[in-house]
C-alpha cells in the first residue's frame, strides 16, 4: 500500500525527530571534559542500539514475507535518510529497505553498523543494492581515514556476499544550516567513493549532485532540518534509481594497478 502524502511527511518527521534527539546524528553517548564517555539525557529518550535491534527484526520480517517467486529485489542500504524512503517497489521490482536511523558504515559492536547486516543481502535476493552511508560517521567525529577504510571493507563484504548483484555506491548528500560544517568532509569523502567505485568496478551514483543547490548545500526546499529529506527529494531520488535500472547491467573493468 502507498502512504498518503500526509502520512509520508509524518513518517519522515518522526525519523528526523529521533535522529535530532541525540548528538552526533544518532549517537547515544558524548564525551565530557575529561574525555570519558557518558550517556546523554537524550539517550534516555531514544536509544540507537534498541532501534537497531527493532529495525533488524523488521528487515528480517520483510525478507521472510517476500513471495516465493520473487527472484530479484532492490535493496536500499543506509541510515535514517534511507529508512525514511517509503517505497515498496520501483520499476516493478520489490524494494527491501535496510536503512537504520543513526547508523554508520561500521561500528565496533554487533548491534550497529551497515557492515553487520550485509549477511542479509543474499536472503533478500538482491539484484540491485543502492548504498548511501557515511554522514553519521562524521557526526560522531570519526576520522575520515577510518571511515574510508571501513567503507572499503564494507564494499568488499557486499561484493563477496552478493556477487551477482549490481552495487550502486551513492555519494553522501550535502547538508545545510547547523549541519553545513560537514560539507567539506563530505566532498572529500565523495571523491574517495568515486575512485573506490572505479577501482572496484561498481557503479557510482552522484546523488549529491541531484540534491545540492548552487552553493553546494542540500536544497532548502527538500529538507526541513538541513539533514533529512522531504517528499520532493525522495521523488527525485526515486527517478535517479529508475534511470539506473534502465541502464544495461554492465560491469566496469577496473584499471590494472
What backbone torsions phi and psi does residue 224 show, to the nearest 5 degrees? -100, -20
Which pLDDT value is given to residue 248? 81
What domains are defined for the chain? 5-26+39-246 (3.40.50.1110)
pLDDT(30) > 60:
no
Using a pLDDT cut of 70, give the percent of the chain over it: 79
pLDDT(159) > 90:
yes
Please state which of the ranges 28-37, 144-153, 157-166, 210-219 shows the lowest mean pLDDT: 28-37
Using CA atoms, how far residue 233 sits from 79, 155, 257, in Å, is 16, 26, 38
Using CA atoms, how far residue 186 sits from 2, 38, 97, 133, 138, in Å, is 33, 27, 23, 11, 8
Residues 6 or more apart whose Cβ sits within 8 Å of residue 163: none
More confident residue, 28 or 211: 211
What is the maximum span of the chain, computed from C-alpha positions, in angstroms? Answer: 57
pLDDT(227) > 90:
yes
- How does DSSP assign 44-62, residue by residue? HH--HHHHHHHHHHHHHHH
For 213-227, give the secondary structure using H, E and C: CCCCCECHHHCCCCC
What backbone torsions phi and psi does residue 98 show, to the nearest 5 degrees? -105, 25
CB burial of 227-240 (b: ≥16 within 10 Å; e: otherwise) equals bbbbeebbeebeeb
174 touches 209 (CB < 8 A): no
Amino acid at each position: 500500500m502507498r502512504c498518503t502524502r500526509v502520512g509520508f511527511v509524518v513518517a519522515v518527521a518522526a525519523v528526523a525527530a529521533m535522529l535530532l534527539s541525540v548528538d552526533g546524528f544518532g549517537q547515544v553517548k558524548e564525551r565530557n571534559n575529561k574525555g570519558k564517555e557518558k550517556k546523554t539525557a537524550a539517550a534516555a529518550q531514544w536509544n540507537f542500539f534498541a532501534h537497531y535491534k527493532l529495525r533488524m527484526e523488521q528487515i528480517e520480517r520483510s525478507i521472510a514475507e517476500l513471495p516465493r517467486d520473487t527472484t530479484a529485489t532492490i535493496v536500499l542500504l543506509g541510515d535514517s535518510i534511507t529508512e525514511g524512503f517509503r517505497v515498496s517497489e520501483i520499476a516493478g521490482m520489490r524494494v527491501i529497505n535496510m536503512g537504520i536511523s543513526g547508523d554508520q558504515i561500521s561500528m565496533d559492536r554487533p548491534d550497529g553498523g551497515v557492515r553487520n547486516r550485509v549477511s542479509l543481502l543474499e536472503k533478500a535476493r538482491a539484484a540491485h543494492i543502492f548504498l548511501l552511508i557515511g554522514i553519521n560517521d562524521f557526526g560522531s567525529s570519526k576520522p575520515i581515514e577510518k571511515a574510508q577504510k571501513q567503507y572499503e571493507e564494507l564494499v568488499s563484504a557486499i561484493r563477496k556476499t552478493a556477487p551477482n548483484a549490481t552495487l550502486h555506491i551513492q555519494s553522501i548528500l550535502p547538508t545545510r544550516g547547523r549541519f553545513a560544517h560537514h560539507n567539506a568532509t563530505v566532498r572529500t569523502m565523495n571523491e574517495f567513493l568515486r575512485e573506490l567505485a572505479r577501482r572496484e568496478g561498481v557503479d557510482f551514483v552522484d546523488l549529491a549532485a541531484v540534491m545540492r543547490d548552487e552553493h553546494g548545500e542540500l536544497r532548502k526546499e527538500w529538507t526541513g532540518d538541513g539533514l533529512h529529506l522531504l517528499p520532493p527529494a525522495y521523488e527525485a531520488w526515486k527517478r535517479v534509481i529508475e534511470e539506473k535500472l534502465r541502464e544495461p547491467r554492465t560491469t566496469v573493468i577496473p584499471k590494472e594497478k
